[in-house]
Structures are given as C-alpha cells and as structure tokens.
Amino acid sequence: MQDLDADQVTDAVIAQMAGTPDPRMREIMEAAVRHLHAFAREVRLTPDEWLKGIAFLTAVGQACSPVRQEFILLSDVLGLSRVVNVMHDAEGREAAGTETSLLGPFFREQAPEVALGESIARVSKGPEIMLYGRVLDAEGKGVAGAWVDLWQADADGLYDLQAHDPSVMDMRGRVRCDGQGNYRVRTLKPRGYSIPMEGPVGEFVRRQARHGFRPAHIHFLISAPGYRELVTALYLAEDEHVDSDTVFGVSKSLVVTAATGQPDAPVPGMPGIRYDFTLSREASDGGGRVGADPAKLMPAG
Amino acid sequence: MQDLDADQVTDAVIAQMAGTPDPRMREIMEAAVRHLHAFAREVRLTPDEWLKGIAFLTAVGQACSPVRQEFILLSDVLGLSRVVNVMHDAEGREAAGTETSLLGPFFREQAPEVALGESIARVSKGPEIMLYGRVLDAEGKGVAGAWVDLWQADADGLYDLQAHDPSVMDMRGRVRCDGQGNYRVRTLKPRGYSIPMEGPVGEFVRRQARHGFRPAHIHFLISAPGYRELVTALYLAEDEHVDSDTVFGVSKSLVVTAATGQPDAPVPGMPGIRYDFTLSREASDGGGRVGADPAKLMPAG
C-alpha cells in the first residue's frame, strides 16, 4: 500500500518508471524526477506557488508558434542552453577548435550566396565593416572551399524576419573560402538587441530586474566535408552588455573589435574584424545544434 | 568578461537574477536554476535530447485549454503534485486531521445541494452505495452544519464533464451535516479510470510502460467556518490499481471498503462506506488547493 511522505514519493515515482523500455529515457527521467522533487522540497513549494508555475509554463507553451519558440527562449535565459552547448562543445571540439555559441532562433536555410568580398547587406543601411580571416584545421592549415554561413541583426538591432516580410533575406549570406581557406565578406556593424519582452519569458526577465539585452554579435555556421559543423558567433567588445548577455552566449575567445589601419585589411579605411576559425574533425555523434526552427517544434495537427 | 564552463554558468545565472525585487521569487528561481543545471550535467544532456525536451514541453503547453490542464497532469504523473500536497498537508493539518489528497481537474463550483440520505446520481446508473459518517473536530466532537462537497466518476469511469455536455451536473453534490456532524449520501460505486492518454502526457506515460490508471475513488471537499478546508478522496481497496496510482494520490488512511451488514447502515442491505472526517483548525496561510480550474490557468488574450 502506498503511503508516501514528501521524500518517499520520489522513490515511488522512480519505481513506477522503472519499466521504461528505452534505457536512456529511463536514466534521464529518473534524474529529472529526483531533481524536480529536491527543488520542491528545498524551497517548500506551496500550492499557490506551484499553481503560478503551472500557469507560467502554460503561458510559455501557448506563446509558441511556427515563428516563435518561447521554451527555447526560457532555456536560454535560465542558462540551460549554455550548459548543454558547453558540454556538447567539450565532447566534440578539438583543443585548437573555435569555441561554439548558441544557434539562436534566426538561422535560415538557403541564405543567398555572396562572392568573396561582397556585402550581405541587401536592404539595410548603416556603417559598414569587413569580416575577414581564414578557416583552418587543427594543424593550422587552410580548409579550401569551406562554407561560411553568417547572419546578424542590422544597425537597428533587427533580423530580416523582424524587419521585413518573410520573403526578404537580408543581413545573411553564404560565402565560400578560396583555395587557402581565406574568407572576406562585407556587412553592417550589428547592434545589440533585447530578447522579445512582450511574452511570458520577457515578463519573467523583467520581474527579475534583468535588462534583457544581448550584446551586438554576428552568427556563423561554418562547414566543410570531413569537419565538424561549427556553430558560433563573434561579439563586439564595445557593447555595454558584452559582460551581461541575457542568454549567456558570450565566451572570451569570441569577443572582437572592429579596427581600422590593419595592414592586411582588404579595404583600407573600412573598419575590419579579422578572425580565424578553426574546425575540429568530424565527431562520431554527428554534431547537433543547440537551437532549432520554431516551426519544426510545433506539435502536429 | 564571461567565459563560463558548464559549472560556472550556474553562478552567472544566479548572479544575473540576484536583483529580483521579490525575495521569494529570487529564492525559488535560484534553487530552480541550480537543480535544472545539475540535472543537465548529471545526465550529460545532449543537444538532441534537449530539443526533444523543448518539443515535449511545447506540446504539453499547446494541449492546454479552458477544459484541459496538461501541465497539471504532467505534474501529477511526475509525483510533483503529491510532493507539494504532502508538504502543505504536513504544515497545516493537526495530528488528528484527515489526510488530504489531490483536488484533480474535475471539481466544479456550485454543485447541486442534496438532502441527507439523497443520491448524487441524477443521470448515471449503476450499483448504489451509501457514504456515511461524521465530520469531527480534532477533539472528536461533531461539526454541526459542515458542508460535504463530493464528486466522482460514474460506474463507467467517466466524470460528468466527460460523459455529457457542460450543462449537466451529475455524480456531484453538496450535502450539509446535521447538528451532530452526521452526513449520509447515496451514490454509485465509482470505477477507476485512465488519465487522458491521447495527449503528450499520455504518450509520455505509455513510453514509460505505465498503465496510466487511477484506482476508483470519490473526491471530497469539506468545509465549515473556523476550520481548514479539507480536500481529500477515498479510494476503494478492491481496485487493482490501488497500489500503483499513476498520479500517486493514495494514502493508506484513505483506503476504504464498501461493506454490507454494518449495524449502523442507513439503508440495510445497501453496501456502505462509513468514514469519519476530522477537520483541522484554520491555518494562517488560508489553505491552498493542489489543483485548479483549467480555464483560470489560460493566459489572457
């Protein structure tokens, strides 16, 4: 006969889940239940607080749509995405490899291809910068023909999906490295921006007196046959929020400055960011991105 | 400069939430973040698994509606509702008080009043039983005029909201104790039932090879001025799932048997369940039910 106090119920739940056929699902759910119950006991969660939590999660789920993933946003502001990304990074990346960062919700497949040195700013206007450098392997050799996919907010802090109708692709593109692994591409200096603050996660962040901003950054997805896909971002050192990113995406090695007067600048006088990316060899796990197309996460029907 | 490994990110998140004006919200969220991160690190959660979790929570949120609360159901099958209820029970209940149980999703305000000894079965048919006994205070004295609100599934395992359109109130009612705290009310023997299995939580339970059943039971909400509202349920000992309730609601002291031949039976020959409920004095926290009307948990607009 069950007669479970607040401690014993944990074992009872785990016992009831013990027949889970998938051993990994069993392992994950056992740990989830232990931590969930330990949390509730530690804070002595009351029925009213539990109900507020239910209402909050319900609102987060209801805010999800084919163009918005509020649960990923929640994972981001709670630092969970960072934890998962860092662990994944540590397991698949070679010591010399570039650190990874979050994919975020604005990646789009089939961005327009641009030639070396061309600009990805097709509609938006603003101060121009040049991104250039090399894509290298772990031994420091250039990776010929590597693809550099990049996307970013414009000078107003908006992605194309926020500024225009979905048919417009702007501030994103794919450039192919030359035979020595060199890339160069012109763009606008991005502006930092706030996460969406009008939904339940925005309200949650506001109630924590957090600013809700991400520092200015440029996303990269770099790929070449035989190498691990690299999902990362470069962050502008000058941004006032570079030390307090609301979604904890910044790593020291990914912080850059747009400088003028560099001897190797492709366009003299234009501020340039020189950054060499280093790819790791392909891992057996086949990768995995911390992020996704919101439309693919909606339940069917 | 942030440069956070999978351990350090936890402190960084807590630091960013440290300015939360509401101290209780700060306390709860700090503990939530610590446990959430510890869980992810313990199981080495991969990006693919994280994404499956995001998709699952999204589906749970999207399944919520004004007549269905899938997140409460998830809390129930994970044992969290039991943990919260047991802690609440331990803080507000006097030693002699009747143990509490979950409110569940089928409570409705303004159930029809029935006279002592009348039946709450207005539409459904099935084998009848008599519920009777007393509502007592902690000293064993009858509580005159206490209200006994009860609701249950019918002989097919369906609540009125599942079997009929919402205008029908059946298998629920309110009966008022007499001057000595006696109550008696006729009803049908309830049948155990499965939780809703066609939604994401049902699929989750199925993937854990759990049966998904609750043992047959009758819900009670008992109230009287000056006493703590008692939310509880009685469970039928004969039900095959009385030891494996999918939502962990059963306590030993709440298991009963419908017996015939009891000398104090109000209707000789009719199987009867005699149960005395003991109320605790009103606590300063004003109570709080583990459960809610799904409509009240939907986001506005």
- Tell me the C-alpha distance between A235 and A243, whole Å: 10
Contact across the interface for A47 and B84, Cβ inside 8 Å: yes
Give B178→chain A minimum CA distance, Å: 32
Give the three-class secondary structure for A275: coil
Please state, rounded to an integer, the average pLDDT across all residues of chain B.
92
User: In terms of CA atoms, which chain B residue is nearest residue A10?
Assistant: B79
Beta bridge partners of A150: A173, A220
Q: What dihedral do alpha carbons B161, B164, B168, B169 form, nearest 10°?
A: -50
Give me the DSSP letters along B203-249: HHHHHTT---EE--EEEEEEE-TTB--EEEEEEETT-TTTT--TT--
Would you call B245 an interface residue with chain A, using a CB distance cutoff of 8 Å? yes
Query: HSE on the CB side for A9, CA within 13 Å?
Result: 30
Query: What's residue A284's pLDDT?
Result: 61
Query: What's residue B42's pLDDT?
Result: 98
Task: Kindly indicate the confidence band of residue A286, based on its pLDDT and cuts at 50, 70 and 90.
Answer: low
Q: Which of B26, B47, B79 sits opposite A289 (nearest CB)?
A: B47
Measured CA to CA in angstroms, residue A121 lies from A164, A188, B168 at distances of 13, 7, 62
Chain segment B221-272, per-residue pLDDT in tens: 999 999 999 999 999 999 999 999 999 999 999 999 999 888 888 888 899 9
Q: Which of B49, B69, B288 sits opposite A47 (nearest CB)?
A: B288
Identify the CA nearest to B160 among candidates B122, B117, B197, B127: B122
Give the three-class secondary structure for A74: helix
Give A220→chain B minimum CA distance, Å: 18
Would you call A85 an interface residue with chain B, using a CB distance cutoff of 8 Å? yes
Would you call A46 an interface residue with chain B, using a CB distance cutoff of 8 Å? yes
Give the three-class secondary structure for A5: coil
pLDDT surpasses 90 at B291: no
Do A208 and A239 touch, CB atoms closer than 8 A? no
Strand B272-274 versus strand B255-256 pairing type? unpaired
Chain segment A186-219, per-residue pLDDT in tens: 999 999 999 999 999 999 999 999 999 999 999 9
Chain segment A119-170, per-residue pLDDT in tens: 999 999 999 999 999 999 999 999 999 999 999 999 999 999 888 988 899 9
Would you call A295 an interface residue with chain B, using a CB distance cutoff of 8 Å? no
Q: What percent of chain B has pLDDT over 90?
A: 76
Contact across the interface for A299 and B59, Cβ inside 8 Å: yes
Domains and CATH numbers, chain B: 8-62 (no CATH), 73-283 (2.60.130.10)
Would you call B283 an interface residue with chain A, using a CB distance cutoff of 8 Å? no
Give A119→chain B minimum CA distance, Å: 31
Contact across the interface for A2 and B250, Cβ inside 8 Å: yes
Would you call A59 an interface residue with chain B, using a CB distance cutoff of 8 Å? yes
DSSP A118: -
Q: Using the Cα atoms of residue A234, residue A131, residue A177 and residue A136 in order, give the sign of their dihedral.
A: negative
Task: Kindly indicate the confidence band of residue A79, based on its pLDDT and cuts at 50, 70 and 90.
Answer: very high
Task: Kindly indicate the confidence band of residue A3, based on its pLDDT and cuts at 50, 70 and 90.
Answer: low
For Cα atoms A51, A52, A58, give the angle at the middle one, nearest 5 degrees.
90
Give B39's contacts in chain A (Cβ within 8 Å). Answer: 31-32, 35
Task: Kindly indicate the confidence band of residue B301, based on its pLDDT and cuts at 50, 70 and 90.
Answer: low
Would you call B6 an interface residue with chain A, using a CB distance cutoff of 8 Å? yes
Contact across the interface for B50 and A253, Cβ inside 8 Å: no
Query: What's residue B286's pLDDT?
Result: 52
Would you call B252 an interface residue with chain A, using a CB distance cutoff of 8 Å? yes
Chain centroid offset of residue A279 CA: 18
Give the three-class secondary structure for B141: coil
Would you call A123 an interface residue with chain B, using a CB distance cutoff of 8 Å? no
Give the three-class secondary structure for B199: coil
Contact across the interface for A1 and B43, Cβ inside 8 Å: no
Helix axes of B47-63 and A47-63: crossing angle, nearest 10 degrees:
100
Contact across the interface for A297 and B28, Cβ inside 8 Å: no
For Cα atoms A234, A240, A245, give the angle at the middle one, nearest 5 degrees.
60
Give A55's contacts in chain B (Cβ within 8 Å). Answer: 297, 299
Task: Kindly indicate the confidence band of residue A285, based on its pLDDT and cuts at 50, 70 and 90.
Answer: low
Give A258→chain B minimum CA distance, Å: 18
Helices vs strands, H then E, count in chain A: 7, 12
- Tell me the C-alpha distance between B109 and B297, whole Å: 16
Give A114→chain B minimum CA distance, Å: 30
Contact across the interface for A6 and B86, Cβ inside 8 Å: yes
Query: What's residue B57's pLDDT?
Result: 98
Task: Kindly indicate the confidence band of residue A92, based on its pLDDT and cuts at 50, 70 and 90.
Answer: confident
Do B135 and B187 touch, CB atoms closer than 8 A? no
Task: Kindly indicate the confidence band of residue B6, based on its pLDDT and cuts at 50, 70 and 90.
Answer: confident
Contact across the interface for A208 and B288, Cβ inside 8 Å: no
- Tell me the C-alpha distance between A36 and A19, whole Å: 20
- Tell me the C-alpha distance between B57 and B155, whole Å: 34
Task: Kindly indicate the confidence band of residue B287, based on its pLDDT and cuts at 50, 70 and 90.
Answer: low
- Tell me the C-alpha distance between A236 and A176, whole Å: 24
Give A198→chain B minimum CA distance, Å: 13
Give the three-class secondary structure for A41: helix
Q: Which of A20, A79, A292 sits opposite B37 (nearest CB)?
A: A79
Q: Measure CA of the first residue to CA of the last residue in chain A; give whole Å.
A: 41
Q: Which residues contact B264 (CB under 8 A, 6 or more apart)?
A: B132, B274
CB pairs under 8 A between A and B: 278
User: In terms of CA atoms, which chain A residue is nearest residue B285?
Assistant: A46
Do A256 and A101 touch, CB atoms closer than 8 A? no
Residue type (1 letter), B122: R
Contact across the interface for B9 and A75, Cβ inside 8 Å: no
- Tell me the C-alpha distance between A217 and A28, whole Å: 34
Selected for mutation to probe chain B from A25, A64, A67, A80 (highest B CB count within 10 Å) is: A80
Q: Using the Cα atoms of residue A11, residue A13, residue A15 and residue A19 in order, give the sign of their dihedral.
A: negative
Complex prediction ipTM: 0.91
The continuous run of DSSP H or E covering A50 comes out as helix A47-63
- Tell me the C-alpha distance between A183 and B260, whole Å: 88
Neighbouring C-beta atoms of residue A42, cutoff 10 Å: 15
Q: What backbone phi and psi angles, to 5 degrees, belong to A138? A: -65, -20
- Tell me the C-alpha distance between B237 and B250, whole Å: 10
Q: What is the mean pLDDT of residues B194-216?
A: 96
Contact across the interface for A47 and B252, Cβ inside 8 Å: no
User: In terms of CA atoms, which chain A residue is nearest residue B286?
Assistant: A48
